[in-house]
Amino acid sequence: MTESVGTNFIWNGELFPSHKFDSAIIYDGESVYEVIRMVRGYPVFFDDHIERLQSSVRMQGRKMIADAGILRRDLLTLSASEKMTEINLKIVFNYNWLNENYFIYFIEPIYPSEEQYRHGVKGILYSAERENPESKVINHELRSSIYHRLIVEGAYEALLVNQHNCITEGSRSNIFFIKNEVLYTAPEEHILNGITRKHILKICDENNINVVLSCIDADSIAVYDTVFMTGTSPIVLPFSQIGSVSFSTGHHFLELLRHKYLVKAGESVRLFSGG
């Protein structure tokens, strides 16, 4: 089963039909990647994603296979060939012992429904740590294991618990806890600092919302009022429960943060498109 959706993809700067896409190449060797939300054919927070891609590549001791200008050109070429309105796009730099390749392709997004935004989703606790959390590297084994657990548990997201029994991040998101009008989230050195998280923290600062950078003990989650995730697809999405513990999904911070984030995202698209 191919991860690429749509009719085309980019491989080393050239446009190819999707039936030629081979997912096995991405899992051969080491792959660094970014997932970008596309709106009206343009990327949301493109510069932030490229900056993080550069950081991930640098942390892995690698070099950029294509620079920001080339990626921008290829992204627009692919977008123009597809006429997609709202979808996620993936950039992958693959390094193996034979050669280096880069790919740009659309992936099927899992955008929450309005009902999920209102009523929340189910989460589970999962004991795992990323080897290098600050670098966005494909870990096929961990991803497959978590995906299987999510299906078995009927859950939307897994909250990762480290060897010290502290919650660091989600398997594909960042995690925030709310108690007494204060937000709690793990420090950057313990997580992959998501682009959505970065802008949510800016919004908190602009609106005088108190944020404490601290990992939460997995045994103490019941004392928090609300828990939510941030990410490219979910944006700001509350949990209705984690394991057997239930949470409120109606905290006023949720709508405030989501609304102001969407405004910033829309502005980034306008700046990129020149419109």
Q: State the Cα–Cα distance between residues 75 and 198, nearest whole angstrom.
A: 23
Mean pLDDT over the full length of the chain: 93
Structural contact between residues 179 and 190, judged by C-beta atoms closer than 8 angstroms: no
Q: Residues 183-235: pLDDT tens digits?
A: 999 998 888 889 999 999 999 999 999 999 999 999 999 999 999 999 999 99
- What's CA 218's distance to the chain center, in Å? 22
Q: Which among 160, 164, 178 is positioned nearest to 123, based on CA atoms?
A: 160
Q: Residues 52-64: pLDDT tens digits?
A: 999 999 998 999 9
Cα–Cα distances (Å) from 23 to 5, 20, 28, 57, 151, in that order, read 12, 10, 9, 20, 22
Task: At 153, list the tokens.
Answer: 């548990």
pTM for this one? 0.92
114-266: CATH superfamily: D-amino Acid Aminotransferase, subunit A, domain 2 (3.20.10.10)
- The answer to whether domain 5-107 and domain 114-266 are alike in fold is no
pLDDT value at position 132?
67
Q: What does the pLDDT average to over 45-57?
A: 96
Cα–Cα distances (Å) from 229 to 10, 171, 173, 225, 237, in that order, read 31, 10, 6, 14, 5
Task: At 258, list the tokens.
Answer: 């989501």
Confidence class for position 109, pLDDT limits 50, 70, 90? confident
Site of tokens 């051969």: 28
**Local structure of 124: helix, strand or coil:** strand
Question: So where are the chain's domains?
Answer: 5-107, 114-266
Phi, psi for residue 270 in degrees, rounded to 5: -65, -40
Kind of pairing, strands 121-127 and 157-161? parallel
Q: Residues 139-189: pLDDT tens digits?
A: 778 888 998 999 999 999 999 999 999 999 999 999 999 999 999 999 988
Helical spans, DSSP H, in 154-251: 195-206
Q: State the Cα–Cα distance between residues 243 and 249, nearest whole angstrom.
A: 16
Q: State the Cα–Cα distance between residues 18 and 16, nearest whole angstrom.
A: 6
CB atoms within 10 A of CB 75: 21
Q: Which among 81, 90, 66 is positioned nearest to 12, based on CA atoms?
A: 66
Helices (H) and strands (E) in the chain, counts: 7, 16
Q: Which among 130, 10, 140 is positioned nearest to 81, based on CA atoms?
A: 10
**Local structure of 215: helix, strand or coil:** coil
**CATH for 5-107, options being 3.10.180.10, 3.40.1440.10, 3.40.50.140, 3.30.470.10:** 3.30.470.10
Q: Amino acid identity, residue 238?
A: P
**Local structure of 210: helix, strand or coil:** strand
